[in-house]
Structure 1
Amino acid sequence: MVRRNYVAAAAPSPISQKPTVPYPVDTSVGPLLRYQKSLPRLPVPALSETLEKYLKSVRAITNDDEYTKTQAIVAEFQKPGGLGEELHKRLLEKANDPNVINWLEEWWNEVAYFGYRDPIVVNVSYFYAYKDDKLRKYPVARAAAIVTAALEFRRLIVEQQLEPEYAKNLPLCMDSYKWMFNACRYPKKPSDFELTFDPATNNHMTVIRKNKFFIVDLVKDGIQLSTAEIESQLRKIYELAGNTKDPAIGVLTTENRDNWTDYRELLLAAGSNEQLLKKIESSVFALCLDDTSPVTRDEISHACWVGDGRNRYFDKSLQFIVFENGRAGFCGEHSSMDGTPTCRLNDFVCDVIAKNKINHGSPNVRSNLPEPEQLHFTLNNDVLDAIAKAESNFDSLVAKHDLRVLSYQGYGKNGIKTLGFSPDAYVQMIIQLAYYKMYGVCRSTYESAQTRKFAHGRTEVCRSTSVDSVNWVKAMEDPKVPLEVKADLGRKAIKSHVKYMSEAVEGRGCDRHLFGLRMSLRPGEEKPAIFTDPIYIKSTHWYLSTSQLSSEYFVGYGWGEVVPDGYGIAYQVNANVLSFNVVSMHLNNQQMCHYLREAADEMKEVFEHAQAKEGRVPAKL
């Protein structure tokens, strides 16, 4: 089954001050939502524009006979008075309904997330791994600082004082921030759902240690706990948890969603467990205090991504993770919120701690703080059997996967910019070239493009494989092609990618529109040939699922592949380093990392040579 891990889109640049925005300001709300009512709706592109873009994209992965057949199928779909025109009309009616904020939202959330039944671990959830904190090498100190910083970010959201994000001076939709804190996904057949809880009355966090769940109230007598007080509470949890592990209730959240639905009912039927679960579900976030000590980038990335599956509660929107050796990271539940908001959250947490821009409160610990509350679940044989099955399924699932991290030190964003290229598009071409080196063929590639400039916008697909990228990678692998020609073709490929991305963020890619047309079919109507065409299926089989989110504070960021014979390649474009997180079902990730490095080296050589030939000083990458 195709996985639904469409994690993120390139994060907007941090802002130092509010830009001049051509939208009216809503003064009845705080800065966070000041532009929400002014955001435009997600557009429905012209049918002819979408089909033309679709044909152009599939030309890169088809031979002449395949392309001719697909052209004919598209022409039939586009015929005046035909079903394509009718489906487009229905979609426009939905988009223009005044009661519908975003025509895509309900369909996308259902099909891609809540109706998706495979485990969210590996298939949906994602992670960030932090750089070390040299001042806080002990886990309780590191964890307490992270909690204080996260609570400050939460305060800015609750009070609506957080500045919106912007892209090219236009504000982005901030609606999804409501799903960040005090939120939880719930398993249900046939489709899950998500709930949020009142932040005014739910000021507790869930702490998980040795598979045991503890509740820590973060406010006492109207005053938020200081970092020193949080650290004191966490020390007590280490003592209370001891050295033995409890049955891993958290592992149930790693299961197939239908199984988890059944297991949750077993858990509720076993005793007075409903209120205990509600304390976890309503908590501000989860803090996972792991008893492992990951060292390498591969190890900490894997530990943040899946861990051992036990010391977690994957249905929580936010899980901060701190390891025995003081290393730390984050795991996010993806259903209602894409990666850009949580990237901002985690970058904020790391930044204010590193720059000492957070008020840690009094170093004195109040003597009347209540003890952390351990949640003692009632477990019977049915629940214990479910836990055992979930553990076995989790271990089997994770064993099918391999995760490797390439930290490419040759150059980064700064060097790419000296060559005059979009850093994101340039790195996409690194990925295209690496795949071609490894397989000798170009295949469909998904890059997330955020559409948050529109109300309730999420993502669109930027199809990275183009006729221009195919011509370029073939030239790069042909020793007879002069370097100048390779450089010219490379520029053309990068320019083509930038153009597609620019259109995608405007809501004018082809994939979401085609999805909307497909969803506009009525029960009993036959699916048009365009959607059963082998080329359509091939073009949406994402052998490469890619996305960029970047922070100078992260040493890892990633998620899983979306098809069994493909790769999930999450990447960071930092100032002087490129980082690639490669996940697949054991498709020789080490070799892929080798080819990524080789592709980056060769692109540097080609474009530096071109600079020299043009009489410009070669960039020092």
Structure 2
Amino acid sequence: MARRNSSVAIKKPIIPYPEDNSVGPLFRYQKSLPKLPVPALKDTLEKYLKSVRPLVNSEEYAKTEAAVAEFQKPGGIGEELQRRLLAKANNPNVLNWLEDWWNEIAYFGYRDPVVVYVSYFYSYKDDKIRKNPATRAAAITTAALEFRRQVVNQQLEPEYAKGLPLCMDSYKLMFNACRYPSKPSDYEATFDPTTNNHITVIRKNKFFILDLVKDGIQLSTAEIESQLLKIYELAGDTKDPPIGVLTTENRDNWTEYRKMFLAADPKHEQLLKKIESSIFALCLDDSSPITVDEISHACWAGDGRNRYFDKSLQFIVFENGKAGFNGEHSSMDGTPTCRLNDFICNVIANNKVDYGSPNVRSGLPAPQQLHFNLTSEVLSAISKAEKNYDDLIAKHDLRVLAYEGYGKNVIKKLGASPDAYVQMIIQLAYYKMYGTNRATYESAQTRKFQHGRTEVCRTVSVDSVNWVKAMEDPKVPIEAKAELGYKAINAHVKYMAEAVEGRGCDRHLFGLRMSLKPNENKPAIFTDPTYAKSTHWNLSTSQLSSEYFQGYGWGEVVPDGYGIAYMINNDSLNFNIVSLRLKNDTMWHYLKESATEMRQVFEYAQAKAGQIKAKL
């Protein structure tokens, strides 16, 4: 599956595209954005061969070279598939040749549970002023509503990367949205934001609908807090059977359970629609996580009960006032929700949000609790879902490395790209642990194109492997280690630059493979073991950063692999490590050790270079 991608700038640069004044600022460049390109077949195959070379031995590589040569023979299947792909890309009715295939295969047709395989989380730093959970939840809600207002009114400034606007289409799926289980493929639905001004509040596994507008006026923060306090009171101390845990199930199971749930009582359809059409879900948990590991785990998965994981947005506030977010990833990648959550934390921390009157109006309608008719069949389904979820989570381990030794400021002084530098930390840690390097996926966002999502930046290169081997060889001089390190970093920067331009090899190869007709045999390039090996993502990685977060992450994508999400803040690094209990403590140790050793090597090289320059 795809992963989240790196942060983007908001400040408006000078744009070479014409503006569409018929829409608000948010979408003013949408029609001007270029379409996702189809790279030249020769370029992709050369890039593919170069990327697999460090992953296989000479005999395996020779077979792969032969398969690639066969694929690109003049007049052969490769040229035919390229022709078909270009025809689709050039169709004026197709905005993005990859979109329908990718959304289906990577997300909606994917049948494993969204937790832990699709959804992701952010955990917030503490709010020293708002330690009461209702107070903090009310502030988060108000800030989220302000961001929503800017999205709905199309007044939000687009995001930019290197002076070019990014596709903002996915913002339409941010609020009042929900994923639906269905066979053979799920789907997403959105609801009118002008008539659906309620949120779903979940407490003690009970669902409440809280309208946020009265007499045409949005509830103030004080009014929202007063309503949340009523929900705390209404929920009481006992828990209901957890309807929400059904959303953690295998998607085929959840499809059947939802049908069963709707059949149990005619009113259930409208009750579920209230949840599905809400602006977002606010989960008021009764747990009190303390450590970074505990709060990250609680935001990522928790006990799976006090949630509705099909909602696009879930804000989570814990009993001790700590807070975070869980996102459903199918229709929206991480950069938009990172911006949303960073905005929320920023305006609260800097008192830049209008909280409204401190007075609570009389006559606010009480929050509506949704009462379900839970038949024995439904209760049995809930019980099965609970067991399946508990078994799944028990197999997993999550560890957070909050590395405070240095961050982006120091890395830039070392003359390195912060993202590429941290990718090398991960490569070195993996090599220390396993004595080899394996396929590594880093998300590269392709939102400079219409409906663009992600491409793969393949981190492992001949240069990165040469460097990690040198780092672990005491006979290699420190100057040589630094030189090889910069070479590896520059190779990564080059691949990333090409990937964000839509010129990686993975999505193109995927498009060629999807262009095969049902009755056509797969070419050898796709049945070659090297292809499977090079796309078996033992390391699935991505960066999203905010000075207001203390955690960000998601799960692994292969059973013998790691999900390593990371943040690069000004003076710290944060790694979230998830795996099927592959000794995460050891990986934690090696990441920390690698970060420390790399600084020593590169600072020495910088100092040495300075001495030489001074002598000259």
TM-score range for the pair, normalised by the shorter chain length: over 0.9
Instruction: Name the structure 2 match of 1:11.
Output: 7
Instruction: Name the structure 1 match of 2:294.
Output: 299
Residue 344 (structure 1) aligned to one of 326, 339, 347: 339
Residue 591 (structure 2) aligned to one of 577, 596, 612: 596
CA deviations 1:600-621 (Å, max 9, x no partner) are: 1111111111112112599xxx
Q: 1:481 to 1:270 in 2, by over 3 A?
A: same
Does the 8 Å contact 1:127/1:304 carry over to 2? Answer: yes
Does the 8 Å contact 2:4/2:542 carry over to 1? Answer: yes
Instruction: Name the structure 2 match of 1:517.
Output: 512
Instruction: Name the structure 2 match of 1:451.
Output: 446
Residue 240 (structure 1) aligned to one of 234, 239, 242: 234
Provide the rounded CA distance (Å) in 1 between the counterparts of 2:294 and 2:598: 29
Instruction: Name the structure 2 match of 1:39.
Output: 33
Instruction: Name the structure 1 match of 2:114.
Output: 120
Provide the rounded CA distance (Å) in 1 between the counterparts of 2:18 and 2:161: 17
**5+ unaligned residues in a row in structure 1: which ranges?**
none
Instruction: Name the structure 2 match of 1:485.
Output: 480
The answer to whether residue 181 in structure 2 is matched with residue 187 in structure 1 is: yes
Provide the rounded CA distance (Å) in 1 between the counterparts of 2:63 and 2:547: 48
1:544-559 equivalent positions in 2, closer than 5 A = 544-559=539-554
| 3-state DSSP of counterpart to 1:591 | helix
1:72-111 equivalent positions in 2, closer than 5 A = 72-111=66-105
Deviation at 1:63, TM superposition (A): 1.1
Provide the rounded CA distance (Å) in 1 between the counterparts of 2:306 and 2:218: 26
Amino acid at match of 2:474: P
Amino acid at match of 1:186: Y
Provide the rounded CA distance (Å) in 1 between the counterparts of 2:88 and 2:612: 55
| 3-state DSSP of counterpart to 1:111 | helix
Provide the rounded CA distance (Å) in 1 between the counterparts of 2:15 and 2:22: 18
The answer to whether residue 418 in structure 2 is matched with residue 433 in structure 1 is: no
Provide the rounded CA distance (Å) in 2 between the counterparts of 1:403 and 1:616: 44
The answer to whether residue 150 in structure 2 is matched with residue 150 in structure 1 is: no
Instruction: Name the structure 1 match of 2:167.
Output: 173
1:62-81 equivalent positions in 2, closer than 5 A = 62-81=56-75
Provide the rounded CA distance (Å) in 2 between the counterparts of 1:19 and 1:614: 36
CA deviations 1:571-611 (Å, max 9, x no partner) are: 00000000000000000001101000111111111111111
Provide the rounded CA distance (Å) in 2 between the counterparts of 1:318 and 1:416: 33
Provide the rounded CA distance (Å) in 1 between the counterparts of 2:327 and 2:366: 28
Instruction: Name the structure 1 match of 2:465.
Output: 470
The answer to whether residue 15 in structure 2 is matched with residue 21 in structure 1 is: yes
| 3-state DSSP of counterpart to 1:614 | helix
Does the 8 Å contact 2:6/2:542 carry over to 1? Answer: yes
Provide the rounded CA distance (Å) in 2 between the counterparts of 1:616 and 1:75: 50
Does the 8 Å contact 1:205/1:287 carry over to 2? Answer: yes
Residue 249 (structure 1) aligned to one of 238, 243, 251: 243
Residue 355 (structure 2) aligned to one of 335, 349, 360: 360
Does the 8 Å contact 1:273/1:377 carry over to 2? Answer: yes
Amino acid at match of 2:76: G
Deviation at 1:523, TM superposition (A): 1.1
Provide the rounded CA distance (Å) in 1 between the counterparts of 2:216 and 2:415: 54
CA deviations 1:216-243 (Å, max 9, x no partner) are: 0000000000000000000000000000
Does the 8 Å contact 2:10/2:157 carry over to 1? Answer: no
| 3-state DSSP of counterpart to 1:443 | coil
| 3-state DSSP of counterpart to 1:615 | helix
CA deviations 1:66-117 (Å, max 9, x no partner) are: 1111001100000011101100100000000000000000000000000000
Instruction: Name the structure 2 match of 1:273.
Output: 268
Does the 8 Å contact 2:281/2:311 carry over to 1? Answer: yes
Provide the rounded CA distance (Å) in 1 between the counterparts of 2:475 and 2:496: 32
Does the 8 Å contact 1:7/1:126 carry over to 2? Answer: no
Provide the rounded CA distance (Å) in 1 between the counterparts of 2:10 and 2:470: 37
Amino acid at match of 2:424: M
Amino acid at match of 1:381: S
Does the 8 Å contact 2:4/2:334 carry over to 1? Answer: yes
Provide the rounded CA distance (Å) in 2 between the counterparts of 1:514 and 1:568: 23
**5+ unaligned residues in a row in structure 2: which ranges?**
none
Does the 8 Å contact 2:10/2:158 carry over to 1? Answer: no
Deviation at 1:7, TM superposition (A): 2.5
Instruction: Name the structure 2 match of 1:530.
Output: 525
Provide the rounded CA distance (Å) in 1 between the counterparts of 2:612 and 2:399: 36
The answer to whether residue 309 in structure 2 is matched with residue 314 in structure 1 is: yes
Provide the rounded CA distance (Å) in 2 between the counterparts of 1:610 and 1:181: 49
Normalised to the residue count of structure 2, the TM-score between the two structures is 0.99
Amino acid at match of 2:414: L
Provide the rounded CA distance (Å) in 2 between the counterparts of 1:43 and 1:616: 47
Instruction: Name the structure 2 match of 1:541.
Output: 536
| 3-state DSSP of counterpart to 2:202 | strand
Normalised to the residue count of structure 1, the TM-score between the two structures is 0.98
- The alignment-based identity, stated in percent, is 77
Deviation at 1:210, TM superposition (A): 0.2
Amino acid at match of 1:576: D
Instruction: Name the structure 2 match of 1:382.
Output: 377
Provide the rounded CA distance (Å) in 1 between the counterparts of 2:611 and 2:303: 53
Does the 8 Å contact 1:611/1:617 carry over to 2? Answer: no
Amino acid at match of 1:9: N
Amino acid at match of 1:83: I
Q: 1:371 to 1:617 in 2, by over 3 A?
A: farther
Provide the rounded CA distance (Å) in 2 between the counterparts of 1:204 and 1:444: 44
Provide the rounded CA distance (Å) in 2 between the counterparts of 1:617 and 1:482: 17
Deviation at 1:13, TM superposition (A): 2.9
Residue 264 (structure 1) aligned to one of 255, 258, 261: 258
Deviation at 1:554, TM superposition (A): 0.2
Instruction: Kindly report structure 1 stretches of 4+ aligned residues shifted beyond 3 Å.
Output: none
CA deviations 1:157-177 (Å, max 9, x no partner) are: 000000000001100000000
Pairwise CA RMSD of aligned residues? 0.8
| 3-state DSSP of counterpart to 1:580 | strand
